[in-house]
Amino acid sequence: MTKPTVIETRKVTKTYNVNAAPVTALVDISFAAEENSFVSLVGPSGCGKSTLLQILSGLIPSSSGEVLVDGMPVRKPMPDKIAVVFQDATLLPWKTVIQNIEFPLEVQKVPPRERRECARAMLSLAACASACRSRAASRRIRASS
């Protein structure tokens, strides 16, 4: 039995326009990912992996082509369907560790008590509860400590 396709791209092309000098990052990328599959994008630096992931998650538009998630065209971020972990730590250095964890919930207007409970649970899960009042950039968090 074939599994349903959850992510599909059809001839996705992306050209960035930088100071009137176009940079072509992707040309005619088509693939399909099945439900419950683990898919890796592999290629040399600059080949367009991050660009494709940003398009798949609705963070930037493609120049042409189509992206479907659960059969629906992606036109904007869909936080209930797609989560993104960025290549670089996108932490706010002036906030503490726990404030950084809470930040996406703050943006979603989750009440303070609820977001603090959720953030504490996440820190405990990663065995990092002792780091919650540290500044995000002040020390490395060790999962084993």
Ligand X SMILES: Nc1ncnc2c1ncn2[C@@H]1O[C@H](COP(=O)(O)OP(=O)(O)OP(=O)(O)O)[C@@H](O)[C@H]1O
CA dist 86 and 13 (Å) reads 21
Q: Which CB, 54 or 100, lies closer to ligand X?
A: 54
Of 90, 109, 85, give the one whose Cα is nearest residue 100. 90
C-beta contacts of 25-30 below 8 A and 24+ residues apart: 25/51, 26/51, 26/52, 26/55, 26/62, 28/65, 29/65, 30/65
Q: How far is the CB of 124 from Mg ion (least distance, A)?
A: 31
Binding mask 77-116 for ligand X (x = CB under 6 A): ----------x-----------------------------
Q: Which CB, 41 or 121, lies closer to ligand X?
A: 41
Contacts to Mg ion from residues 3-62, by CB under 5 A: 49-50
> Looking at 42-50, 70-78, 112-120, 123-131, which segment touches ligand X (CB under 6 A)?
42-50
Q: Which CB, 1 or 42, lies closer to Mg ion?
A: 42
Q: Alpha helix locations (H) across the chain?
A: 49-56, 97-107, 112-125
Per CB under 6 A, the list member of 34, 35, 46, 83 interacting with ligand X is: 46
Token readout for 103 is: 């930040």
